[in-house]
């Protein structure tokens, strides 16, 4: 396993299961003191609820000390060059968790850091979310292998990391997005290559009904991600017909579960009340951020 987690494939696919197993143990009370005497610097350039809280609390569960910097505080690449910030933070902390815009920023940061760097979301990937997602799917289905997951909506950061995670564990991810909002074919090829040995796959279609047929899990994310606010009206129009609602869930497997990384926009990508539908497991999914990331941090140190 690479010493960073800045893209999902930094975990060798044969190592994913051991991180999930450790997360399950931690959830059952078997935490460790892996971060005793260590500090975790959390540097966010975008808003956050779940990610900030789960890294902060996760660090404390492992007996470490979190230090948080919000948007506006550091000015990565504006107030100070990325490489200089990486050098300074590496001298003063033991793990660095970053949420930023460009994937190239976190790559430059990691290239100049001497401690593990974790991607807490970029425009390109959200690998920690995907780790929690496959933990949640494992809890529901027993295993991701052979599971059918449908992702309806934007071919974005969440979709890409989910593709790696599901395929890497031998599941099938079918993504339904309108033209212009699909993942690049390079991204899909990358996830398929990563999941090949496990028999996993990722493919893309345009029709949401085609993606949800026989799906065990139906997943969606916002249509307008952080940083895309000026495109919001255009995106609302483009995603018409891609809303996940009870009628869409009725077309999936009879035992289907609904997932969303949150925050959700009821009336847009989901219908009102869907988070509280009996088929929804979104709050288990949110809690699992804590356990998946704690297991990841333990592994990285």
- Note the residues at the interface with ligand NVA (CB under 6 A): 121, 126, 156-158, 221-222, 225-226, 261
Q: Judge contact between 151 and 162, C-beta under 8 A.
A: yes
Smallest distance, ligand NVA to C-beta of residue 128, A: 10
Smallest distance, ligand NVA to C-beta of residue 30, A: 28
Nearer to ligand NVA, 160 or 217 (CB): 160
Nearer to ligand NVA, 38 or 126 (CB): 126
**Residue 49 DSSP SS3:** coil
Nearer to ligand NVA, 4 or 225 (CB): 225
Question: Which residue lies nearest ligand NVA, judged by its C-beta?
Answer: 225
Q: Which residues have C-beta within 8 Å of that of residue 166, sequence separation ≥ 6?
A: 133, 134, 137, 144, 147, 149, 172, 173, 195, 200, 202
Smallest distance, ligand NVA to C-beta of residue 153, A: 9
Smallest distance, ligand NVA to C-beta of residue 50, A: 7
Task: Give the Cα-Cα-Cα angle 289, 223, 162 (nearest 5 degrees).
Answer: 40
Smallest distance, ligand NVA to C-beta of residue 129, A: 7
Nearer to ligand NVA, 17 or 161 (CB): 161
Nearer to ligand NVA, 165 or 222 (CB): 222
Please spell the DSSP secondary structure of 216-281, one letter per residue: SEEEE--SS-TT-GGGHHHHHHHTTT--B-HHHHHTS-TT-EEEE-S---BTTTB-TTGGGSTTB-
């Amino acid at each position: 396993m690479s010493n960073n987690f800045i893209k999902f494939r930094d975990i060798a696919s044969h190592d994913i299961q051991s991180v999930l197993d450790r997360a399950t143990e931690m959830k059952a009370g078997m935490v460790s003191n892996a971060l005793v005497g260590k500090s975790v610097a959390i540097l966010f350039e975008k808003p956050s609820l779940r990610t900030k809280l789960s890294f902060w609390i996760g660090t404390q569960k492992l007996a470490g000390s979190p230090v948080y910097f919000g948007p506006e505080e550091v000015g990565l690449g504006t107030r100070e060059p990325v490489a200089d910030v990486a050098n300074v933070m590496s001298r003063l902390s033991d793990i660095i968790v970053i949420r930023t815009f460009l994937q190239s920023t976190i790559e430059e940061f990691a290239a100049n850091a001497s401690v593990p760097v974790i991607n807490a979301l970029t425009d390109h990937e959200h690998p920690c979310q995907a780790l929690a997602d496959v933990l949640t799917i494992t809890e529901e289905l027993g295993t991701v292998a052979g599971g059918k997951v449908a992702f309806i909506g934007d071919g974005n950061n969440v979709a890409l990391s989910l593709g790696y995670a599901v395929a890497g564990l031998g599941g099938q991810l079918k993504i339904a997005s309108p033209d212009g909002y699909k993942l690049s074919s390079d991204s899909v090829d990358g996830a398929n290559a990563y999941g090949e040995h496990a028999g996993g796959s990722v493919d893309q279609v345009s029709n949401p009904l085609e993606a949800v047929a026989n799906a065990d899990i139906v997943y969606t994310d916002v249509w307008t991600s952080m940083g895309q606010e000026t495109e919001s009206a255009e995106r609302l129009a483009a995603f018409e017909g891609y809303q996940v609602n009870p009628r869409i869930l009725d077309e999936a497997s009879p035992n289907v579960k609904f997932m969303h990384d949150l925050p959700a926009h009821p009336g847009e990508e989901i219908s009102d009340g869907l988070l509280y539908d009996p088929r929804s497991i979104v709050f288990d999914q949110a809690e699992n951020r804590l356990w998946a990331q704690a297991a990841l941090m333990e592994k990285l140190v």
